[in-house]
Amino acid sequence: MAPDDLMFQDDDAGTAPTRLSSAAIPWPVLVVDDDEQVHAMTRVLLNDFEFEGRRFAVVSAFSAAEARVILAERTDLPVVLLDVVMETQDAGLRLVHHIRRDLGNRHIRIILRTGQPGQAPERDAIVAYDINDYKSKAELTAQKLFTSLVSAVRGWCDLVTIETLNQSLERRVAERTAELERQTALADEQRRFIENLVELMPSPVWYRDAAGRYALCNRAFRELFPNAAEGIEWSVGTQDVSEQAPAGTDSFSFETSVSGADGDSRELLVVKRPLSSPDGAAAGVIGIATDITERRRMERELQRLATTDPLSGAHNRRHILDLLERLLTGQEAVADSRQTGGAACLVMLDIDHFKRINDEMGHGAGDIAIRRVVEEIRSQMRATDQIGRIGGEEFAILLPDSSRADGVAIAERLRNGLAALAIELPDGRCFQLTGSFGLTEVRPLGDTVESVLGRADQALYRAKALGRNRVEVT
Are residue 79 and residue 227 in the same domain, yes or no?
Answer: no
pLDDT tens string 66-122: 999 999 999 889 999 999 888 888 888 899 999 989 998 888 999 887 766 555 455
**Spatial contact of 448 and 327, defined as CB atoms under 8 Å apart:** no
Give Cα 312 to chain centroid, integer Å. 26
Would you state the pLDDT for residue 115? 67
The answer to whether residues 277 and 374 belong to one domain is no
Beta bridge mates, 112: 82, 134
Domain-ending residue, one of 80, 106, 140: 140
Count Cβ atoms below 10 Å from residue 38 Cβ, excluding itself. 20
77 phi, psi to nearest 5 deg: -90, 115
Q: 88 CB contacts (<8 Å, ≥6 apart)?
A: 64, 94
Largest CA distance in the chain: 100
Per-residue pLDDT, 309: 95
Using DSSP's 3-state secondary structure scheme, residue 215 falls into: strand
d(CA 376, CA 73): 63
Beta strands, E only, 379-450 = 386-391, 394-400, 422-424, 430-432, 435-442
Q: What is the per-residue pLDDT for 182? A: 67
145 lies in some domain: no
* C-alpha span between 440 and 348 (Å, rounded): 9
Do 14 and 5 contact (CB within 8 A), yes or no? no
Is 393 noted as a catalytic residue in this protein? yes
Residues 178 and 176: their CA atoms lie apart, in Å, by 5
Given this model, what pLDDT does residue 415 score?
97
Range list of β-strands (E), 71-213: 79-82, 109-114, 133-136, 205-209
What is the spatial distance between Cα 328 and Cα 349, in angstroms, rounded to a whole number? Answer: 21
CB contact set of 144 (below 8 Å; sequence gap of 6+) = 135
Residues 320 and 274 in one domain: no
pLDDT at residue number 187: 65
The b/e string for 170-202 (b: 16+ C-beta within 10 A; e otherwise) is: bebbeebeebeeeeeeebeebeeebeeebbeee
Tens-level pLDDT at each residue, the chain (474 residues): 333 333 333 333 333 333 334 457 899 999 999 999 989 988 988 888 888 889 999 999 999 999 999 999 998 899 999 998 888 888 888 999 999 899 988 889 998 877 665 554 555 556 666 788 877 766 667 788 888 889 889 988 888 888 888 888 888 877 777 766 667 676 677 777 877 887 888 888 888 888 888 888 888 888 887 776 554 344 433 344 444 444 445 788 898 888 766 778 888 999 999 988 888 888 888 899 998 989 889 988 898 889 999 999 999 999 999 999 999 987 554 434 434 456 899 999 999 999 999 999 999 999 999 999 999 999 999 999 999 999 999 999 999 999 999 999 999 999 999 999 999 999 999 999 999 999 999 987 789 999 999 999 999 999 999 999 999 999
List helix spans (H) across 204-351.
Answer: 219-224, 293-307, 317-328, 337-340
256 and 397, same domain (yes or no): no
Name 292's Cβ contacts closer than 8 Å, sequence gap at least 6.
255, 267, 268, 269
Indicate whether 171 and 291 sit together in one domain.
yes
Handedness of CA 114, 48, 80, 267 (dihedral sign): negative
The answer to whether residue 303 is domain-embedded is no
Mean pLDDT of the chain: 83
> Is there a single domain that holds both residue 112 and residue 73?
yes
Q: Residue 285 falls within a domain, yes or no? A: yes
Give which of 246, 242, 250, 240 is closest to 221, Cα–Cα: 242
Q: How many domains does the chain have?
A: 3
d(CA 6, CA 323): 43
169 and 287 belong to one structural domain: yes
CATH, residue 89 = 3.40.50.2300
3-state secondary structure of 176: helix
pLDDT number for residue 469? 97
Residue 300 lies in a domain: no
User: pLDDT tens across 401-446, in order?
Assistant: 999 999 999 999 999 999 999 999 999 999 999 999 999 999 877 8
86 within some domain: yes
Contact status, residue 414 vs residue 380, Cβ threshold 8 Å: yes
Where residue 445 falls (left for φ over 0; alpha for ψ -120 to 50; beta otherwise) is alpha
Q: For residue 439, what are the contacts with CB-CB under 8 A and spacing of at least 6?
A: 345, 346, 347, 348, 404, 407, 408, 411, 456, 459, 471, 472, 473, 474
Q: Is the whole model's pTM more than 0.75, yes or no?
A: no
Residue 331 lies in a domain: yes
Asked which of 87, 106, 140 is the last residue of a domain, the reply is 140
Asked if 342 contacts 334 with a C-beta cutoff of 8 angstroms, the reply is yes
Q: To 5 degrees, how large is the angle CA 71–CA 75–CA 78? A: 90
- Position 183 in a domain: yes
Considering 170, 230, 267, 393, which one is annotated as catalytic?
Answer: 393
Choosing from 89, 114, 140, the residue where a domain stops is 140
pLDDT at 402: 94
Asked if residue 180 and residue 288 are part of one domain, the reply reads yes
Let me know if residue 127 belongs to a domain. yes
Q: Determine the pLDDT at residue 116.
A: 60
For the four alpha carbons of 402, 408, 411 and 412, in that order, the dihedral sign comes to negative
Same structural domain for residues 173 and 288?
yes
Give the dihedral of Cα atoms 36, 41, 43, 46; nearest 10 deg: -150
Residue 199: CB partners within 8 Å, gap ≥ 6? 218, 219
Same domain, 289 and 229: yes
- Domain coverage including residue 50: 3-140
Residue 408's nearest CA partner among 358, 466, 346 is 346
CATH number of the domain at 407, please: 3.30.70.270
Same domain flag for 283 and 345: no
Whether the CB-CB separation of 381 and 327 falls below 8 Å is answered with: no
Tell me what pLDDT residue 124 has: 58
Q: Is 111 in the same domain as 199?
A: no
CATH code at position 160: 3.30.450.20
